[in-house]
Structure 1
Amino acid sequence: MSFSYTPGETAHRTGFSLDTLRYYERIGLLADVERTPGGQRKYSDDDIGLLEILRCLRETGMPIQRMREFADLCRTGDTITDRIDLLEQHDRRVRQHIATLEAQRTRLTEKIAYYRDVHS
């Protein structure tokens, strides 16, 4: 059973603003969003699912162009291998970034300890 959601409900469910939803549609991250006879957008469960993974990708630093590539792959259907490849590449970048942040955090912790020792 598939449901449809108003823009407000979709914004609430996904955490995206209405402006972001419109922007994502305009740049092609969301395509073919259905409309009511009155012209109001109505989002499907599939749209919600795509928005959730797009949020994850964006929050982990994926550029919009790569997000567009992923969304395009999702729309074309038979591209599971390509989607896996794109997500694995991004996962490697995320893991590398986390390692860099952990190393920098260690450096910060050492500097804080140094200043506490000097200040005591």
Structure 2
Amino acid sequence: MKTYSIGEAAKELHVTAYTLRYYDKEGLMPFVERTASGQRLFKESDISALKIIECLKSTGMPIKEIKTFIDWCTDGDTTLQQRFDMFMDRKSVVEKQMEELKKTMELIEHKCSYYETALKAGTEEIHKNNKIEIPVTN
């Protein structure tokens, strides 16, 4: 069975070793074994679990809530409904984020087209007769 050092695990996950130490301190890695000298040994299953943690973090989920999820996983089948509900909530959050990103991309695409046209013409004056305003949404 292959094991990873903290540096190797960090590289595999595209995070820093500091991040993994922080996760450990916050109780997000109760599954990671340690050597007699206290060095963390990451297995493939640990890397998979950390990828889920990274996924949840990327959705904006607070560390405290991720810790709750990890605790539920440790508790086993009695928490299946809570875990399902949590992922359904996360799905909703990500869908809203995607809608906002879509609006952002539309504005960026408009501005790329605007500047491309202005560059070809050598001036923004080309747009003086085209006063189409796109509302900026936050």
Q: Same fold (TM over 0.5)?
A: yes
For structure 2, list consecutive stretches of 5 or more residues without a partner in the other structure.
127-138
Match of 2:70 in 1: 71
- Counterparts in 2 of 1:64 and 1:113: CA distance versus 1, 3 Å: same
Q: 2:68, 2:51 → 1: CA distance?
A: 16
Q: 2:112, 2:12 → 1: CA distance?
A: 40
Between 74-83 and 47-56, report the one with greater CA deviation.
Answer: 74-83
Match of 2:106 in 1: 106
Deviation digits for residues 24-60 of structure 1 (CA, Å, limit 9, x no counterpart): 0000111153111222111222211111111111122
Match of 2:135 in 1: none
Match of 2:36 in 1: 37
Between 42-51 and 107-116, report the one with greater CA deviation.
Answer: 107-116
Match of 1:80 in 2: 80
Number of matched pairs: 119
If the length of structure 2 is used for normalisation, what is the TM-score? Answer: 0.73
Q: 2:36, 2:102 → 1: CA distance?
A: 52
Deviation at 1:111, TM superposition (A): 5.1
Deviation at 1:81, TM superposition (A): 2.3
Q: 2:11, 2:111 → 1: CA distance?
A: 42
Q: 2:32, 2:94 → 1: CA distance?
A: 30
Supply the RMSD in Å over aligned alpha carbons. Answer: 2.1
Q: Are the counterparts in 1 of residues 31 and 46 from structure 2 also a CA contact under 8 Å?
A: no
- Work out which of the two has the higher radius of gyration on C-alpha atoms and give 1 or 2: 2
- Counterparts in 2 of 1:16 and 1:110: CA distance versus 1, 3 Å: closer
If the length of structure 1 is used for normalisation, what is the TM-score? Answer: 0.82
